[in-house]
Structure 1
Amino acid sequence: MQQPLLHPIALILLPLNGTPTGAAALELGLQLARRFAAHLDALHVGSDSREVAPLAGEGLSGALVEEMIGAAERESGRRLRTMRSLFDRVMAEEAAAGRPVATLDRERLSDPATPPVEGATAGFRAVAGREHERVAFAARLSDLIVVPHADSGDEVSSSEALHAVLFDSGRPVIIAPKRVAATVGRRIAIGWNGTAESASAVMSILPWLQHADAVEVLHSPEYQRQGPSAEELVAYLAIHGVRATTRQFASVDREVGAGLLAAAGSFGADLLCMGAYSHSRLRQLILGGVTRHVLEAATLPVLMAR
């Protein structure tokens, strides 16, 4: 008999902002919603045309400002229709494949008058405002956030939704791969370096570890910081009923992140868990780093926490 999850996942947030990899993230979000019988909240943040109005005080004529507002509203409407169409298409494809998920708005889900719904549900909603603020605020009252994979290195640097949830939500984040595998969380690799960030990631994924088929702790002298060793983590996990092995990895082409991903691949992991940005975000974005490399190059889902 399986143990109940320590921290049940009931609400999964998925920011949809138009990236080409949004469909894969939506597929992963629905897969996780079915696994946990949770609600997937697909959130699209559109621009607020009122933010253009202050430009009238910057020497622009009222007519020009009105034209800019109109253009912003049209573009925002186009993006909203595109994201709504994507949501409807993926939901239909999942149903056609025998994996239907009931459509339910988040407002109805939280209404005490709504009858209980068994199994997974999903809903699409759109709000206006600053993307990093609206996504971070919604993430703080979610159990898990799924973020589309960055389509390029530049997108890693500029993704407001990604950095909002990593730095301002206090919640675990799963970076979806560009292509979703059939299983997630059966073989879990932990990228461990002894930091508070990696400890937070382990705590976030502990319920998953207790139900995994295999768990391996990946470590490297080049990756390790001051803190508990990989062997100490294995002993800690054993107290929680999790049997884990260890694997030491080496850099690939002088990239620690590449070595970490290669070790996860050798283990056959379908989920990698790691802390995010042990160094400052600015340093990693400018000089590179393990977090940045994984965000750019991972081909499996990656759970990150800070």
Structure 2
Amino acid sequence: MLIDIKNILLPLNGSGDLEAVMSVALDFARRFDAHLSAVVVGSDPSEVATLAGEGISAGMVNEMIDTATTEAQRRAIAIRKAFDAFIHEHGIRRVEPSKIGSSAGDGVSASLDVLNGTEHDSLTWRSRLADMTLVPNLAKDGDPRASETLHAILFDSGRPLVIAPPAPPKTVGKRIAIAWNGTPEASLALRCILPWAHKAEAVQVLTCQDYQRRGPGADEVVTYLRMHGISATASEFEAVNRDIGAGLLKAATEFNADMLGMGAYSHSRLRQMILGGVTRHILEQAQLTVLMSR
């Protein structure tokens, strides 16, 4: 079924607010009765190989942090500690990565796997067999690999990418805004956000004349959603100081949206990095949960 989400990939690299991304992960896992496939990308496999195993006490983890020789090693161990505390606090069943899927349907579960820093392709490959990937918000002072990971998954997974907000949200997916400009990227995002839209209290399709490309209009999107049993409205917004991204976030805020779905990089990434663009603005400024597809 289209609305089935059972495997959520959760790359954890120490960037952003782990409390925020974990709170969104818990919401999604409970909502869809899904498995959380957490992955830590370390710097050296020999440094962090022990992190994936069970049976490590909190005291042992603290000792590992104290004896860590590199910042990357300390970060990976701290993530392991936060992950253990998270699943313990919320009563989530932990399974070993090798046993994922052996007891499907038994409620929310989680696993933790560790990759060394050279296995970036491996993380992207895993995302292709995840129903979605959830990443922390890009922090200005976070690990520079966070942006590389985000964009690799966005461009190479073929699956939706969800970006957690900077701080733990009160709600996620109750009021959904969908950015629409008629492009294939927007079309994919529209389809990917259906599982959340089915459970939302309100859905609004946001368009802007300066954002729209050749393709179906917002009214046709509303009709499409209606065919899926989803009631939605359409609203046109204006750019703020010629910035479409700022206008989009303003419109989402006025709708009281707690989740935004959008296509990413209709223009090339290089052009957006140099000249600015909607995707870049959302990545840098969004304060709500964002689903992106490309």
Match for 2:149: what amino acid? A
Task: Name the counterpart of 1:228.
Answer: 216
Determine if contact 1:131/1:160 at 8 Å carries over to the other structure. no
Taking only aligned residues, the RMSD between alpha carbons, in angstroms, comes to: 2.3
Task: Name the counterpart of 1:53.
Answer: none
Task: Name the counterpart of 2:266.
Answer: 278
Task: Name the counterpart of 1:77.
Answer: 73
How far apart, in 1, do the equivalents of 2:185 and 2:112 lie? 31
How far apart, in 2, do the equivalents of 1:125 and 1:78 lie? 16
Answer yes or no: is 1:109 the counterpart of 2:100: yes
Match for 1:107: what amino acid? S
Write out per-residue CA displacement over residues 75-95 of structure 1, whole angstroms, 9 at most, x where no aligned residue: 543332121112123334xx2
Structure 1 runs not aligned, ≥5 long = 51-71
How far apart, in 2, do the equivalents of 1:195 and 1:130 lie? 34
Match for 1:17: what amino acid? N
Task: Name the counterpart of 1:299.
Answer: 287
Q: Superposed, which structure 2 residues align to 1:1-306 within 5 Å?
A: 6-48=2-44, 74-92=70-88, 95=89, 99-111=90-102, 115=103, 118-130=106-118, 132-152=120-140, 159-306=147-294
Task: Name the counterpart of 1:69.
Answer: none
Q: 1:107 to 1:155 in 2, by over 3 A?
A: closer
Determine if contact 1:153/1:296 at 8 Å carries over to the other structure. no
Runs of 4+ in 1 over 6 A off after TM superposition: 153-158
Q: Greater Rg, structure 1 or structure 2? A: 1
How far apart, in 2, do the equivalents of 1:211 and 1:142 lie? 21
Q: Report SS of the residue matched to 2:87.
A: helix
Identity of aligned residues (%): 48
Moved more, 130-139 or 141-150: 130-139
Q: Report SS of the residue matched to 1:77.
A: helix
Q: How many pairs were matched up?
A: 273
Determine if contact 1:156/1:296 at 8 Å carries over to the other structure. no
Structure 2 runs not aligned, ≥5 long = 47-67
Q: 1:234 to 1:176 in 2, by over 3 A?
A: same
